[in-house]
């Protein structure tokens, strides 16, 4: 076969495999010879040799055949970038092809994944640093996050890959990053030999763009395809960024093919990420998709207690009054980061005043945070939700009717208004058609009572609360 023939074959391959595959995998091949049914090419790295032989040898052979250059197999030799290893060792200059630089054959017939070329990978891994505080030990488990936690634990144990990828999603500050770091810490302890890489999708893009600019795509690909566990945080970031998506997709597939664990997080489910290619969405859905639900009261309280314990260790002697943590868990929204910030400020304040922090001081000290959290749920919203839930008119919620089918939902709305907003009883009364604050208090008490007696009411309350806080 002549170089011309190879040129024709290449242009056919471009049509068959597409522009991206072509420039990544076909273009770098250099034709050397076709002899006795073996077509020999030189490739830049052994990783590539393996990849091409596993994924493209059939199409290449097919197109060779169509151009009267029939071969039964490919022989891909790595253009040796490091002749030192062989030459300097003083080995007899035996049976090496007389081309410079000396090609080194790799076992392309083998179907095992490529052993990475040591030299090129000695550099640092492409990951971001891990936060030492984000461990499984410091992660508080509750109903809203128990599945995500269990899945993360499972992946952190290492062992055979059972779901790939693990896809964690949920709103801001619900613990996605914490869980990913925890997995990485755990793997590093249990299997220090694994190459675990954690980074944000943004950093992935940054690296990719940098590699393009510096013409180091081969290194980039090789680096990312050589890791054992890849974690990409906030993957929604690459939506709409076409070439980054494309590259991510290839990296993803390459690792899945090698049975390497991948862990992805996003702020929403794969199917709901706008401007993300369909094929990527469907790949992301192939493994285990779990969501972190908005925190509930118990989880928030648990987290506050655990953080408060840590603070007390740091600042022995600091005290906060009984009921303060409960109050914060009740009043501060879902976002655990905000919750932590509030507690931190409270302890800083305590260390200034040097005595126990009272409930009043808490309200003072955190007024802005409390107000910001309140904005989330309004009395009006509660009334709307509750009337939808019980299928009554919104106007009846504030109207005078006293039949139980209306009065009960109204009391539930009062109860939720008292617990989910910072409105005072008179303020709530005004929003319920100008009722007196004692009426509101009565309604709240009634529901508090019923909650313990009537399962249906307890369930409804929980459901409504979740819906309102989501």
List, as residue ranges, the binding site for ATP.
173, 175-177
CB of residue 264 to Mg ion, shortest distance in Å: 12
The residues in 302-321 that bind ligand ADP, with binding defined as CB under 6 A, are 303
Please choose, out of 41-49, 54-62, 168-176, 285-293, the segment that lies near Mg ion by the rule CB under 5 A: 168-176
- From the number of C-beta atoms within 10 Å of its C-beta (0-12, 13-18, 19+), residue 161 rates as middle
Stretch that binds ligand ADP, among 121-129, 171-179, 198-206, 375-383 (CB under 6 A): 171-179
Nearer to ligand ADP, 139 or 224 (CB): 139
Which residue in the set 103, 113, 116, 175 belongs to the binding site for ligand ADP (CB under 6 A)?
Answer: 175
C-alpha span between 53 and 108 (Å, rounded): 6
40 touches, from ligand ADP, Mg ion, none (C-beta below 5 to 8 Å by class):
none
Rank residues 17 and 336 by Cβ distance to ligand ADP and give the closer one: 336
Residue 81, number of CB atoms within 10 A of its CB = 13
Q: Which is closer to ligand ADP, CB of 158 or CB of 173?
A: 173
Q: Closest approach of Cβ 181 to Mg ion, in Å?
A: 9
How many residues bind ligand ADP (CB under 6 A)? The answer is: 17
> Does residue 294 belong to the site contacting ligand ADP (CB under 6 A)?
no
340 touches which of ligand ADP, Mg ion, none (CB within 5 to 8 A by kind)? ligand ADP
Number of H helices, E strands in the chain: 22, 9
Smallest gap, in angstroms, from Cβ of residue 97 to ligand ADP? 53
Query: Residue 252 binds what, of Mg ion, ligand ADP, none (CB under 5 to 8 Å, by partner type)?
Result: none
CB distance 397 to 413 below 8 Å: yes
Q: Tell me the closest approach of the beta carbon of residue 266 to ligand ADP, in angstroms.
A: 10
CA distance 179 to 450: 38
**Contacting residues for 12 by C-beta, under 8 A, at least 6 apart:** 63, 66, 67
- Please tell me whether residue 176 binds ligand ADP under the rule CB under 6 A: yes
111-170: contacts with ligand ADP (CB under 6 A): 134, 138-140, 145, 170
CA distance 55 to 250: 12
Distance CA 444, CA 415 (A): 4
With contact defined as beta carbons under 8 Å apart, do 51 and 254 qualify?
yes
Closest residue by Cα to residue 23 from 242, 291, 221, 279: 221
Shortest Cβ distance from residue 202 to ligand ADP (Å)?
A: 13
Residues annotated within a binding site: 173, 175-177
Q: Tokens for 336? A: 């655990």
Candidate ranges 172-180, 198-206, 217-225, 383-391; the one touching ligand ADP (CB under 6 A): 172-180
The reply on whether position 340 binds ligand ADP by CB under 6 A is yes
Q: Could you say whether residue 172 binds ligand ADP (CB under 6 A)?
A: yes
Backbone angles phi, psi at 131, to 5 degrees: -85, 120
177 touches ligand ADP by CB under 6 A: yes
Spatial contact of 310 and 274, defined as CB atoms under 8 Å apart: no
Which residues, other chains included, contact 90 with Cβ-Cβ below 8 Å and sequence gap of 6+? none
Ramachandran area for residue 170 (φ above 0: left; ψ -120 to 50: alpha; else beta): left
Task: Provide the token pair at 418.
Answer: 């008292």
Binding status of residue 337 toward ligand ADP by CB under 6 A: yes
Residues in the site for Mg ion, rule: CB under 5 A? Answer: 176-177
């Amino acid at each position: 076969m002549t170089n011309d023939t190879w040129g024709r074959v290449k242009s056919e391959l471009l049509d068959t495999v597409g522009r991206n595959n072509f420039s990544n995998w076909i273009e770098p091949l250099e034709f050397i010879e076709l002899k006795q049914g073996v077509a020999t090419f030189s490739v830049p790295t052994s990783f590539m040799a393996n990849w091409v032989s596993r994924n493209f040898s059939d199409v290449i052979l097919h197109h060779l055949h169509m151009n009267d250059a029939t071969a039964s197999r490919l022989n891909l030799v790595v253009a040796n970038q490091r002749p030192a290893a062989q030459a300097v060792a003083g080995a007899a200059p035996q049976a090496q092809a007389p081309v410079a630089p000396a090609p080194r054959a790799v076992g392309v017939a083998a179907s095992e994944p490529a052993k990475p070329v040591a030299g090129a990978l000695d550099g640092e891994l492409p990951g971001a640093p891990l936060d030492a505080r984000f461990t499984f030990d410091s992660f508080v488990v509750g109903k809203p996050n128990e599945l995500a936690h269990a899945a993360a634990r499972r992946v952190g144990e290492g062992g055979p890959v059972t779901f790939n990828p693990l896809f964690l999603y949920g709103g801001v500050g619900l613990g996605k990053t914490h869980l990913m770091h925890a997995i990485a810490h755990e793997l590093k302890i249990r299997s220090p030999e694994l190459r675990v890489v954690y980074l944000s999708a943004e950093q992935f893009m940054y690296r990719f763009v940098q590699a393009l600019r510096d013409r180091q795509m081969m290194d980039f690909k090789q680096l990312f395809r050589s890791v054992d566990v890849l974690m990409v945080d906030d993957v929604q970031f690459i939506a709409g960024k076409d070439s980054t998506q494309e590259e991510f997709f290839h990296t993803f597939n390459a690792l899945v093919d090698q049975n390497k664990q991948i862990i992805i997080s996003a702020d929403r489910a794969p199917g709901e990420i706008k401007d993300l290619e369909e094929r990527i969405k469907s790949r992301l859905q192939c493994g285990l998709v779990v969501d972190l639900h908005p925190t509930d009261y118990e989880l928030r309280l648990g987290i506050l207690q655990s953080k408060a314990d840590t603070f007390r260790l740091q600042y022995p002697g600091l005290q906060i009054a009984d009921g303060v943590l409960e109050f914060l868990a009740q009043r501060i929204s879902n976002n655990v980061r905000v919750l932590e910030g509030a507690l931190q400020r409270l302890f800083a304040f305590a260390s200034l005043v040097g005595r126990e922090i009272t409930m009043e001081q808490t309200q003072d000290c955190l007024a802005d945070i409390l107000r910001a959290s309140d904005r989330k749920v309004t009395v009006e919203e509660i009334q709307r939700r509750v009337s939808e839930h019980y299928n009554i008119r919104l106007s009846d919620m504030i109207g005078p009717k006293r039949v139980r089918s209306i009065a009960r939902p109204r009391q539930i709305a009062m109860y939720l208004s008292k617990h989910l907003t910072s409105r005072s009883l008179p303020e709530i009364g005004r929003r319920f058609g100008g009722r007196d604050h004692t009426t509101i208090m009565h309604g709240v008490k009634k529901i508090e009572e019923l909650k313990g007696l009537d399962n249906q009411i307890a369930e409804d309350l929980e459901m409504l609360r979740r819906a309102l806080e989501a």
